[in-house]
């Protein structure tokens, strides 16, 4: 009876170790990337990143329009 208790303790320890290896083993795989992507989406990080990118794009467009306007004014002043 005593051997059963020792076997169960060792078996549970081995199962826990295998669980950690299984979780850590998918670190570089596509599955891990999909999990990280899903977590970021649920956390709202993806939306924040998209909004930041839109802000950058809008700032870039505003700067281009300002440069075009400046060039137009310069060419009109020369005539």
pTM of structure: 0.47
- Residue 35 counted as domain residue: no
pLDDT beyond 90 at 37: no
Domain that holds residue 65: 44-79
Looking at residue 60, its pLDDT comes to 97
Q: Is residue 59 part of a domain?
A: yes
**Over the stretch 18-31, which tens digit does the pLDDT of each residue have?**
666 666 665 567 77
Contact by Cβ (8 Å): 32, 26? yes
In 1-79, beta strands by DSSP E: none
pLDDT value at residue 8: 66
Question: pLDDT tens-digit profile of 38-79?
Answer: 877 777 787 888 899 999 999 999 999 999 999 998 888 876
Sign of CA dihedral 60, 61, 66, 67: positive
Distances (CA, A) of 46 to 19, 28, 75: 30, 20, 43
Instruction: Please check whether residue 14 lies inside any domain of the structure.
Output: no
């Amino acid at each position: 009876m005593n051997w059963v208790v020792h076997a169960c303790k060792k078996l549970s320890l081995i199962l826990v170790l295998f669980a950690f290896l299984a979780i850590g083993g998918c670190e570089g795989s596509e599955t891990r990337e999909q999990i990280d992507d899903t977590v970021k989406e649920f956390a709202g990080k993806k939306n924040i990143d998209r909004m930041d990118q839109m802000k950058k794009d809008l700032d870039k467009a505003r700067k281009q329009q300002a440069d075009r306007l400046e060039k137009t004014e310069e060419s009109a002043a020369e005539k």
